[in-house]
Amino acid sequence: MAVAPPSLPEAEALATRFRALADPARLRLLGLIQAQPDGEACVCNLVEPLGLAQPTVTHHLQVLHRAGLLRREKRGIWVYYQVERAALQALRETLA
């Protein structure tokens, strides 16, 4: 937490990102994506290690993407997700 408390608009933007992290499946998703050899994953890589149904995993990926914590790229029939490291870094600085 910076010495100056965040303004209300800043705090609202940060709270939206923390809300996206406030779910155990989404925290595990972020870890699983970062643990992939090239730091990216499609839903096909994530369903089995997470032990959740594909629509549920897709939903969580969308929540993380909307919150700016994942970026995505469509290649062929799959969408590949990578962690937005700068967004996580900004949250880390908030907690410093």
Q: Which residues bind a second copy (CB under 8 A)?
A: 1-6, 8, 11-12, 14-16, 18-19, 21-32, 34-35, 49, 83, 88-89, 91-92, 94-96
Nearer to a second copy, 25 or 47 (CB): 25
Q: What is d(CA 96, CA 82) in angstroms, rounded to the nearest whole number?
A: 24
CB of 66 to a second copy, least distance (A): 14
Are 11 and 88 in contact by the 8 Å Cβ rule? The answer is no
- Pick the closer one to a second copy by CB: 34 or 58: 34
Is 72:88 a contact under the CB 8 Å cutoff? no
